């Protein structure tokens, strides 16, 4: 287990720096150095006045499998949303009107968020869950996919 900091909530330069026994919380990039974290001793978590620090497991238990019908329905929508994203992108690229292009870019980014939500609820919730690994295994030619399978083992 290790501690992780939500930079948006952190008010900077306070308690965690003084309670951490290893100095893991004091880093130049604002994130906690997980390699120095003592298996999530949680002193920083309890001390933080802003609830900005949370603990993360190295390995998560497998989440309950998703109902196949829910997954299918969500992934159908994910595909439709991806089509909309693509259309938005092409509008942004081809239109000569800068306002229309801006609206199209907003639609593209927003639609991506909706598609990602479908993917998450469709069972691809965490990096190391079974559906993710099975998906990665379908791309034996991709170096990134092979490396990920190695890291997530």
117 binds, among another protein, ligand SF4, none (CB under 5 to 8 A by kind): another protein
Q: What is the CA radius of gyration of the chain?
A: 21
Q: Which helix (H) or strand (E) holds 4?
A: strand 2-5
Q: Which residues contact 81 (CB under 8 A, 6 or more apart)?
A: 111, 112, 114, 115, 118
130 binds, among ligand SF4, another protein, none (CB under 5 to 8 A by kind): none
Any contact of residue 103 with another protein (CB under 8 A)? yes
Footprint of another protein on residues 18-57 (CB under 8 A)?
A: 31-32, 34, 56
Contact 55, 13 (CB under 8 A): no
Any contact of residue 37 with ligand SF4 (CB under 6 A)? yes
Write down the least CB distance from residue 128 to ligand SF4, Å. Answer: 21
Checking 79-83 for CB contacts under 8 A at 24+ apart, the result is 81/111, 81/112, 81/114, 81/115, 81/118, 82/115
Number of residues engaging another protein in binding (CB under 8 A)? 70
Any contact of residue 135 with another protein (CB under 8 A)? yes
Residues of this chain that interact with another protein (CB under 8 A) are 2, 4, 8, 31-32, 34, 56, 66-67, 69-70, 72-91, 94, 97, 99-100, 102-107, 109-122, 124-127, 132, 135, 138-139, 142, 144-145, 147-148, 151-152
């Amino acid at each position: 287990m290790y501690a992780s900091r939500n930079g948006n909530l952190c008010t900077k330069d306070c308690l965690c720096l003084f309670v951490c026994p290893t100095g893991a919380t004091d880093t130049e990039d604002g994130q906690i150095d997980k390699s120095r974290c003592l298996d999530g001793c949680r002193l920083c978590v309890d001390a933080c006045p802003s609830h900005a620090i949370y603990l993360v497991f190295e390995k998560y238990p497998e989440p309950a499998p998703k109902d196949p019908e829910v997954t299918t329905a969500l992934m159908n929508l994910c595909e439709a949303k991806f089509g909309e994203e693509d259309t938005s992108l092409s509008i942004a690229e081809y239109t000569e009107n800068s306002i229309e292009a801006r609206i199209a870019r907003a639609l593209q980014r927003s639609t991506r968020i909706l598609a990602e939500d479908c993917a998450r609820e469709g069972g691809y919730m965490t990096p190391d869950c079974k559906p993710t690994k099975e998906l990665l295994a379908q791309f034996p030619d991709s170096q990134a996919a092979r490396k990920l399978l190695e890291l997530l083992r």
